[in-house]
Amino acid sequence: MSPRATDAVVTGSLLDQRLKTLLAPGTARALAALGPTTVGDLLRFYPRRYVDPGTLTALGDLVKGDRVVVVGEVLRASSRRTSGGKSLFEVTIGDGHDEMRMVFFAQHAGRLGYHQKVLQRGCRAWFRGTVGQYKGALELTHPEFEAIDDAALDERATWPKAVYPASASIDSFQVAKAVATVLGPLHPGEIDDPLPEDVRAAHHLLPLVEALNLVHLPHTDADWRAARQRLRFEEAFVLQTELVRRRAQAAGRLAAARPGRAGGLLEAFDARLPFTLTAGQRQVGAELAAELAQTAPMQRLLQGEVGSGKTVVALRAMLQVVDCGGQAALLAPTEVLAAQHLSTLRAMLGDLAQAGQLGAADQATAVTLLTGSQPAAVRRQALADAKSGAAGIVVGTHALLGDQVQFADLGLVVVDEQHRFGVEQRDTLRTKAATVPHTLVMTATPIPRTVAMTVFGDLETSTLSQVPAGRSPVTTHVVPADLPAWMARTWQRVADAARAGQRAYVVAPRIDPDDPDPPGSEYDDAPADAAGATERRPLASVVDVAARLAAEPALDGVGIGLLHGRMTSEAKDRAFADFASGRVPVLVATTVIEVGVDVPEATVMVVLDADRFGISQLHQLRGRVGRGSQPGLCLLVSSVVGSSNTADDAPAVARLKALEATTDGFELARLDLEQRREGDVLGAAQSGTASSLRLLRVTRDEDVIVTARAAAQRLLAADPDLSAHPALAQAIAARLTAGEDDFLDRA
Ligand code: ADP
Ligand code: MG
């Protein structure tokens, strides 16, 4: 028995009204466990799907094996024990012509109490399940079911039925009743609509209250489709308005224009480039050059396949800034990569980077490294060079973000290999400049346009799709870990490469066998070992594997090195140098080598427990080989392929198969996003029930996002501070207080 909602909602803010003041305590509690605690929450607790009574199958037309929804009246219901000692509850329904049996089993009779209570003789209900056959008669075993409210039946029999997320303590039908309680007294226009009327009109979208009514209580399929379309658009629009507004604000700040200089470093560098730039590099280069020449701060995302030559593009932009007396910072995700960038940049620049040294070119600058693990004296010097401006280019890790780091005139920030979504670094670095620095973010994992728009909504995107000529193809195979012959063959390939003067990487997910397993998969299919359901082999560790390979007859006499994050930086540098030079041609490593590492002689990449890695990680790892004249080979070793628990592991297998089938980064990025929890795509604050993106899927709703962004841009052009659109401003504010500015900040 719930108090009449109409009495309660006239006081206070309607949407903030607590459900426990409106509904029976048990119902409110059960709903709270599912998420909603206020009227506003419950109105936005949309049905998961709809059952269309138009597609009901008549009981006489059923075909074994079909998945069906049937409606009927319970003619007989009985409970008994099976010979196996289980409880069985059996119901026969009829539709006026034919009859059909519904069967429910349980270990304990108590489990069937709810079924027995609801499915009593004379009750009408719908059932959903797959048609099976027992002793010649068709039946449904354990169908989903829901009683049909008789009072509403006449009027509503033909309406699509909303199916809500439910739990053991509240079923979909009870949720629907609770929703009806708060929906009933809503008048059109009673809730301020964040979508302005002209936007609605332009895109043929329903007003808010009408959409809420139809999403919960549609009379036709067209109703709920229209309702969802409007609500989905609203989600995209509110988000894009905020992103576009942030972008406009950032663009409103001033950067120093760095137009470059005739006869400067950039010209000297171009003159000595040992290769011709690809058309893509030239085009993106021109884009960057033009933007750096402006006082509007550049905010650009450069995405380009592994090996597409992003570094040289970034370096040319950096030189343009240095030519104008400014400095550039290059931020790398790991020390290994930072150190490698330093040596790459110094090698490419030659005497152009030897300022202060004998034999430097006239206009030379200096390239300095700044990382967390440098000896104090080296670090002090690096800090001094950044502060005085002696270092035109400072390469570093997150240590660059430290408080003590100051620049004389930071003009450009380049963030490399930001292939994981969400980073705060850019903003921190920006604060180190007197004026706003220009920003270039580089990613090797292509990001679908919709995600770029949503996650990186304040960045413009450039793409390098072409890979320089002379790259070699990489073949990928999935190797079942449990087949000894395959593993022997794998180590033989490693040995062959090493003996042929090439290099091989062997990657493992852990450092030490005693380490706990790394946190589970990034995907929905987090492996069962978390719950202890299935026993798995312990994951491969660098230390273990290196020892095992040293004992492997095939690798007799072949040098095997180690590289992982717990080594000192000198040890890391040494291990990497030995590998690069070929002294130690096999490197067993963690994913520290995942990004950017560039050893042209590397031809074999073996990834152990490959199912534990994400698609983009594997694509990155694979990108470490085939960088020279020899074709590459990537072997993804996994014990889930060909094992018996394939049902649970299906998504992991699909990932590995996809990598085997294609090297197209865009295709892989799409599969990656589809498999990920939406929350991970947008940042932690987006996960779970707190997410305000209920209907919008960045992986699927490209059209909606593109349209909403354009509409948001138009609206903000006319009303930059949203003063004429308070409901929209409020909707944004509500989202931000829900903790979502977290991920917006990263964008
Ligand atoms: P990524 O985009 O993965 O960061 P890099 O910038 O590391 O790629 O480039 C990979 C390799 O390709 C480097 O050795 C680089 O010197 C080389 N490279 C870059 N551009 C070209 C080009 N236009 N022609 C030939 N080689 C190039
Ligand atoms: Mg790179």
The closest ligand to the CA of 446 turns out to be 1
- Whose Cα sits closest to atom 24 in ligand 1? 468
Say how many Å lie between the CA of residue 469 and the centre of ligand 1: 10
Could you write out the three-class secondary structure of 452-497? HHHHCCCCEEEEECCCCCCCCCEEEEEEECCCHHHHHHHHHHHHHH
The whole-number average pLDDT for the span 356-384 is 87
Share of residues in the chain with pLDDT > 90 (%)? 44
DSSP 650: H
The closest ligand to the CA of 627 turns out to be 1
- Whose Cα sits closest to atom 17 in ligand 1? 309
Say how many Å lie between the CA of residue 315 and the centre of ligand 1: 11
Q: What is the pLDDT of residue 740?
A: 42
Q: What is the pLDDT of residue 417?
A: 65
The whole-number average pLDDT for the span 311-339 is 91
The closest ligand to the CA of 418 turns out to be 2
Q: What is the pLDDT of residue 488?
A: 94
Q: Counting atoms of ligand 1 from 1, which one is nearest the CA of 311?
A: 6
- Would you place residue 728 in the very low, low, confident or very high pLDDT band (cuts 50, 70, 90)? very high
Among 36-40, 43-47, 471-475, 699-703, whose mean pLDDT is lowest?
699-703
Say how many Å lie between the CA of residue 598 and the centre of ligand 2: 8
Q: Among candidates 390, 351, 396, which has minimal Cα distance to 372?
A: 396
- Whose Cα sits closest to atom 4 in ligand 1? 310
Q: Counting atoms of ligand 1 from 1, which one is nearest the CA of 417?
A: 4
Mutational pocket test of ligand 1: of 311, 440, 627, the residue with most ligand atoms within 8 Å of the beta carbon? 311
Say how many Å lie between the CA of residue 476 and the centre of ligand 1: 22
The whole-number average pLDDT for the span 277-288 is 94
- Whose Cα sits closest to atom 12 in ligand 1? 309
Distance CA 139, CA 136 (A): 10
The CA-based dihedral angle spanning residues 289, 290, 291, 293, taken in that order and rounded to the nearest 10 degrees = 90
Say how many Å lie between the CA of residue 664 and the centre of ligand 2: 17
Q: What is the pLDDT of residue 355?
A: 82
What distances in angstroms separate CA 457 from CA 101, 414, 431, 612, 680, one per listed residue? 54, 18, 20, 30, 16
Cα 78 off chain centre by: 49
Q: For 62-72, what is each residue's pLDDT tens digit?
A: 888 877 778 88
Cα 37 off chain centre by: 28
Q: Counting atoms of ligand 1 from 1, which one is nearest the CA of 312?
A: 6
Tell the residue number behind the tokens 């570093």, with chain if given. Answer: 396
- Whose Cα sits closest to atom 20 in ligand 1? 309
| Residue 8 contacts residue 22 (beta carbons within 8 Å) | yes
Q: Counting atoms of ligand 1 from 1, which one is nearest the CA of 281?
A: 23
Say how many Å lie between the CA of residue 281 and the centre of ligand 1: 10
More confident call, 469 vs 167: 167
Q: Counting atoms of ligand 1 from 1, which one is nearest the CA of 276?
A: 23
Whether the predicted pLDDT of 729 surpasses 90: yes
Mutational pocket test of ligand 1: of 341, 598, 599, the residue with most ligand atoms within 8 Å of the beta carbon? 598
pTM for this prediction:
0.61
Q: Are strands 438-443 and 410-415 parallel, antiparallel or unpaired?
A: parallel
Share of residues in the chain with pLDDT > 70 (%)? 83
Q: What is the pLDDT of residue 237?
A: 94
Q: Which residues of 702-725 are buried (b: 16+ CB within 10 A; e: fewer)?
A: eebbebbbebbeebbeeeeebeeb
Q: What is the pLDDT of residue 363?
A: 81
Among 195-199, 298-302, 310-314, 686-690, whose mean pLDDT is lowest?
686-690
Q: Which residues of 552-577 are buried (b: 16+ CB within 10 A; e: fewer)?
A: bebbeebebbbbbeeeebeebbebbe
- Would you place residue 283 in the very low, low, confident or very high pLDDT band (cuts 50, 70, 90)? very high
Say how many Å lie between the CA of residue 554 and the centre of ligand 2: 33
The closest ligand to the CA of 470 turns out to be 1
Mutational pocket test of ligand 1: of 270, 273, 275, the residue with most ligand atoms within 8 Å of the beta carbon? 275
Per-residue tokens: 62: 């059923």
| Residue 700 contacts residue 438 (beta carbons within 8 Å) | no
The whole-number average pLDDT for the span 598-610 is 93
Q: Among candidates 278, 290, 341, 376, which has minimal Cα distance to 328?
A: 341
- Whose Cα sits closest to atom 26 in ligand 1? 468
Say how many Å lie between the CA of residue 96 and the centre of ligand 1: 74
Mutational pocket test of ligand 1: of 270, 281, 301, 312, the residue with most ligand atoms within 8 Å of the beta carbon? 312
Q: What is the pLDDT of residue 166?
A: 80
Mean pLDDT, the chain, integer:
83
Say how many Å lie between the CA of residue 625 and the centre of ligand 2: 13
Q: Is 86 left (phi over 0), alpha (psi -120 to 50) or beta?
A: beta
| Residue 503 contacts residue 497 (beta carbons within 8 Å) | yes
Pocket of ligand 1, beta carbon within 6 A: 275, 277-278, 281, 304, 306-312, 444, 468, 596, 598
Q: What is the pLDDT of residue 89?
A: 95
Say how many Å lie between the CA of residue 94 and the centre of ligand 2: 67
| Residue 266 contacts residue 323 (beta carbons within 8 Å) | yes
Say how many Å lie between the CA of residue 308 and the centre of ligand 1: 6
Q: What is the pLDDT of residue 568?
A: 87
The closest ligand to the CA of 595 turns out to be 2
The closest ligand to the CA of 280 turns out to be 1
Q: What is the pLDDT of residue 427?
A: 53
Say how many Å lie between the CA of residue 301 and the centre of ligand 2: 14
More confident call, 121 vs 459: 121
Q: What is the pLDDT of residue 414?
A: 93
Q: For 650-702, what is each residue's pLDDT tens digit?
A: 778 888 999 999 888 777 877 777 776 554 444 433 333 334 577 887 767 88
Say how many Å lie between the CA of residue 265 and the centre of ligand 2: 22
Distance CA 360, CA 670 (A): 47
Say how many Å lie between the CA of residue 306 and the centre of ligand 2: 7
Q: Counting atoms of ligand 1 from 1, which one is nearest the CA of 277?
A: 23
Among 441-450, 509-518, 542-551, whose mean pLDDT is lowest?
441-450
Q: Counting atoms of ligand 1 from 1, which one is nearest the CA of 278?
A: 23
- Would you place residue 253 in the very low, low, confident or very high pLDDT band (cuts 50, 70, 90)? confident
Q: Is 118 left (phi over 0), alpha (psi -120 to 50) or beta?
A: alpha
The whole-number average pLDDT for the span 538-563 is 93
Q: What is the pLDDT of residue 404?
A: 84
Q: What is the pLDDT of residue 445?
A: 67
More confident call, 430 vs 407: 407
The whole-number average pLDDT for the span 284-303 is 93
Q: What is the pLDDT of residue 736?
A: 63
The closest ligand to the CA of 629 turns out to be 1
Whether the predicted pLDDT of 257 surpasses 50: yes
- Would you place residue 5 in the very low, low, confident or very high pLDDT band (cuts 50, 70, 90)? very low
The closest ligand to the CA of 665 turns out to be 1
At 440, the amino acid letter reads L
- Whose Cα sits closest to atom 5 in ligand 1? 309
Q: What is the pLDDT of residue 401?
A: 76
Whether the predicted pLDDT of 465 surpasses 90: no
Among 45-49, 176-180, 304-308, 341-345, whose mean pLDDT is lowest?
304-308
Whether the predicted pLDDT of 1 surpasses 50: no
Q: Among candidates 744, 740, 730, which has minimal Cα distance to 234?
A: 730
The whole-number average pLDDT for the span 209-220 is 94
